[in-house]
């Protein structure tokens, strides 16, 4: 139960803000990060604040890789599963990074900052490995530079039905639309404002220089955003069935199995495209499904599914008030409505395969 922080953990520019707000801090991929703020009901309160109003998350632990030069589209097209040529300047795109065998190395958002300049956001735990992968393949592509930008950017996610209104009030011009990423002056600082998020709510993600992060955080909190930790970030994303790398994605499985075929464009010949095409054509042996527990109990990562498969993410849904999760199951048992039995620490819990997302705003 203890989460004693060691001095070797990295800290974001907002660390002092987290401590002052009474954050419960945990080691997350080598970073000392807030899981929630204050006492026990906090996680659920933060979750509901994002669903009903506005929450602000420090996600500065996430990494950034900048790819620039005339060769950058060619390199990214080789590395990323999606069709990079479809990203207009100021656009954003989701993709996965695959090995030759189709195993997923990371899932990533890429923003096109300029004609020949892209910024790719990495998961904290994968950043060093992703950067090495980018550099190793950049050798084969002329006129491209790869730069590690993890120390140059802090990142705040402002999410919820009131998020845009709050950030708009301190921005010098209208905020970019969903899936757009453009520079703005926000509370006096140069900020890359991205119409993206990981909660299923409208909102923006803000990338800024680390020295501006605290003032930006303070101003957005002052205007009504609730500081929210990684705990709520996880329950929010799971209710809307967004993948978490290390849980629902790994090198052991490919994007088709994970339900990410929509962001794989094999005709672009990305690394792993042959393997992905083969799985798509013959059909995957297993699929990632969303489930809800039918009755009491909460399934957790690693719980086996009777008849094959395993839970990769599981929690109690604060909005649905039931156990929910994602699990890989044999493809023939992946249809909506299929009854599953999940072995939750020795107790068999009935569950039902559900449509994604599990939580819908207007439901």
Which residues here bind other proteins, judged by CB under 8 A? 1-3, 24, 35-36, 39-44, 231, 234-235, 296-298, 300, 315-316, 318, 323, 345
Q: What is the DSSP track for 183-240?
A: EEEETTEEEEEES--SSSS-EEEEEE-HHHHHHHHHHHHHTTPEE--HHHHHHHHHHT
Decide whether 38 or 91 has the Cβ nearer to other proteins.
38
Decide whether 3 or 269 has the Cβ nearer to other proteins.
3
Are 314 and 324 in contact by the 8 Å Cβ rule? The answer is yes
Q: Minimum distance from CB of 132 to other proteins (Å)?
A: 31
Decide whether 283 or 296 has the Cβ nearer to other proteins.
296
Distances in Å between the Cα of 56 and the Cα atoms of 95, 172, 174, 179 are 25, 20, 20, 19
Residue the block writes with tokens 């656009």: 91
Structure-block tokens of residue 16: 């002092």
- Residue 69 phi/psi, 5-degree rounding, is 105, 165
Decide whether 43 or 275 has the Cβ nearer to other proteins.
43
Decide whether 125 or 316 has the Cβ nearer to other proteins.
316
Q: Which helix (H) or strand (E) holds 290?
A: strand 286-293
Q: Minimum distance from CB of 58 to other proteins (Å)?
A: 18
Distance CA 78, CA 218 (A): 40
Q: Minimum distance from CB of 321 to other proteins (Å)?
A: 9
Q: Minimum distance from CB of 246 to other proteins (Å)?
A: 15
Are 325 and 310 in contact by the 8 Å Cβ rule? The answer is no
Decide whether 95 or 313 has the Cβ nearer to other proteins.
313
Where does residue 259 fall: left (phi above 0), alpha (psi -120 to 50 degrees), or beta otherwise? Answer: left
Q: Minimum distance from CB of 319 to other proteins (Å)?
A: 12
Q: Minimum distance from CB of 34 to other proteins (Å)?
A: 13
Residue the block writes with tokens 């005339």: 70
């Amino acid at each position: 139960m203890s989460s004693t922080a060691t001095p070797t953990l990295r800290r974001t520019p907002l660390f002092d803000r987290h401590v002052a707000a009474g954050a419960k801090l945990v080691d997350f991929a080598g970073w000392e990060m807030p899981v929630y703020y204050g006492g026990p009901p906090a996680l659920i309160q933060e979750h509901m604040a994002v669903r009903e109003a506005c929450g602000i998350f420090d996600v500065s632990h996430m990494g950034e890789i900048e790819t620039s030069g005339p060769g950058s589209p060619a390199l990214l097209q080789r590395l990323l599963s999606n069709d990079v040529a479809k990203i207009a300047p100021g656009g954003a795109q989701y993709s996965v990074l695959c090995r030759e065998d189709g195993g997923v190395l990371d899932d990533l958002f890429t923003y096109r900052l300029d004609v020949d300049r892209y910024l790719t956001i990495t998961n904290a735990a994968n950043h060093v490995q992703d950067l090495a992968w980018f550099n190793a393949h950049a050798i084969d592509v002329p006129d491209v530079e790869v730069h590690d930008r993890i120390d140059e950017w802090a990142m705040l996610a402002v999410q919820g039905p009131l998020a845009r209104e709050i950030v708009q009030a301190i921005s010098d011009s209208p905020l970019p639309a969903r899936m757009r990423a453009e520079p703005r002056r926000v509370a006096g600082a140069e900020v890359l404002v991205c119409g993206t998020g990981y909660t299923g709510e409208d909102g923006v993600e803000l990338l800024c220089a680390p020295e501006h992060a605290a003032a930006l955080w303070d101003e957005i909190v002052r205007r009504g955003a609730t500081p929210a930790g990684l705990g709520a970030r996880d329950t929010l994303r799971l209710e809307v069935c967004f993948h978490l790398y290390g849980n629902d994605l790994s090198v052991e499985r490919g994007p088709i199995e994970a339900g990410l075929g929509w962001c794989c464009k094999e005709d672009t010949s990305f690394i792993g495209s042959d393997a992905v095409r083969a799985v798509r054509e013959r059909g995957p042996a297993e699929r990632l499904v969303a489930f809800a527990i039918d009755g009491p109990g909460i399934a957790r990562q690693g719980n086996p599914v009777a008849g094959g498969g395993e839970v990769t993410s599981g929690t109690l849904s604060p909005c649905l008030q039931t156990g929910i999760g994602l699990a890989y199951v044999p493809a023939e048992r992946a249809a909506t409505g299929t009854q599953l039995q999940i072995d939750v620490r020795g107790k068999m819990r009935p569950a039902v395969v559900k449509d994604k997302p599990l939580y819908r705003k207007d439901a």
